[in-house]
Amino acid sequence: MEALGINPGFLLVQIVNLIIAYVVIAKWIVGPIMGMIESRRQTISQGLDDARIAAEARANAEKEAQKIVAEAQAKAGQVVRDSTERAEAAAREVKAAADAEAAKAAEKKLAEVEEERSRILGDIRGQVAALAIAATQKLVGEALDEKRQHTLLDEFFSGVKAGKVVVLEGTSASGQSAEVTSALPLTSEEQDSVKKDVLAKAGAAAVSFRVDPSILGGLVIKVGDKVLDGSVSGKLEGLRSNLR
C-alpha cells in the first residue's frame, strides 16, 4: 500500500473518524432532524384533517341552515296563505251578509211599494166604478140600478161571472202553477172564486196574483206554458187585427 502512496495508519484513522462522524451525525443530528420532520409531518397531517373536518362541519352547518331557512320560509308562506284565505273568506261572508241584508231591505221596500200600489189601485177601482155609474146615468138620463151596475163593473175588472172565470170557459189548460193578472187588485172574495175555478179546471197546485193596469180589464191567466188572454186590451188588439 505504501507503494501506492497510501499510509495504512492514516487510512485507518480516517476510516475510524468517518465511522465516528457517521455515528455522531446519525444519532445526534439526523435522528433529531428526522424526528422533527416526522413530528412536523404529523402536525401538518393533523392540521389538514382538522381543516377537512372543519370544512365538512361548515358545509353541513350551511346545509342545515339552508334547510331551516327553507322550512321557515315555507311555514311563513303557508301562514300568509292561510291568513289570506281566512281574510278572503271573512270578506266573502261579510259581503254575502251585506248583500243578503240589502236584498232583504230591497225586498221589503218593494213589498211596501207593491202594497201601496195595490192600495192606490184598489181606491181607483172604487172611484172608477162611481164615475162609470154616474156617467152612465147622465148619458141615459135616468137613475139606474146601482147594484146591477156594480156587479157589471166587478165582472169587468175581475173576469168572473156567476162565480166562474170567463176566460176558462171552453178552454183546456193544465200545469203545476197558474199566474192570474188583473187590471186592478181583486177583492179577497174575487181571488177565492178565481183560485177555486183555476184549481178545478186547470189542475194547478198553486195560484198567484199580480196587477197590470195596461190590460184595462178582464184577466190574463198563464197556466204552464199556455196563456189565456181574456183581457180588454187583448180583445181590443184582436179587433184591430180583424179590421186591418
> Is 222 part of a structural domain of the chain?
yes
- pLDDT for res 94: 84
- Give this prediction's pTM: 0.46
Per the CB < 8 A criterion, the answer to whether 237 and 215 are in contact is no
Better-predicted residue by pLDDT, 161 or 138: 161
Tally of domains in the chain = 1
Q: Kindly report, residue by residue over 26-68, the tens digit of the pLDDT.
A: 677 767 777 788 788 888 888 788 788 888 888 888 888 888 8
pLDDT over 70 at 1, yes or no: no
Phi, psi angle pair for 113, to nearest 5°: -65, -45
- pLDDT for res 2: 52
> Is 36 part of a structural domain of the chain?
no
Over range 173-198, report the average pLDDT.
Answer: 83
> Is 174 part of a structural domain of the chain?
yes
Place of cell 445526534: 28
Alpha carbon 241 to its chain centroid, in Å, reads 51
> Is 229 part of a structural domain of the chain?
yes
Confidence of residue 107 (pLDDT cuts 50, 70, 90): confident
62's grid cell = 350551511
Range of weakest confidence among 137-151, 164-178, 199-213: 137-151
- pLDDT for res 149: 65
Better-predicted residue by pLDDT, 126 or 152: 152
> Is 216 part of a structural domain of the chain?
yes
Better-predicted residue by pLDDT, 186 or 9: 186
> Is 120 part of a structural domain of the chain?
no
Place of cell 197546485: 205
Cα-Cα-Cα-Cα torsion 117, 119, 120, 122, nearest 10 degrees, comes to 120
Place of cell 170567463: 166
- pLDDT for res 77: 84
d(CA 68, CA 64): 6
Range of the domain at 237: 159-243
Per the CB < 8 A criterion, the answer to whether 205 and 176 are in contact is yes
Query: How many Cα atoms sit within 13 Å of 109 on the Cβ side?
Result: 6
> Is 121 part of a structural domain of the chain?
no
- pLDDT for res 64: 85
- pLDDT for res 5: 57
> Is 181 part of a structural domain of the chain?
yes
Over range 224-243, report the average pLDDT.
Answer: 80
List, in sequence order, the alpha helices (H) in the chain. 8-24, 31-140, 146-158, 188-202, 232-243
Better-predicted residue by pLDDT, 206 or 153: 206
For the chain, percent of residues with pLDDT exceeding 70: 77
pLDDT over 60 at 144, yes or no: no
Better-predicted residue by pLDDT, 26 or 189: 189
Mean of per-residue pLDDT scores for the chain? 76
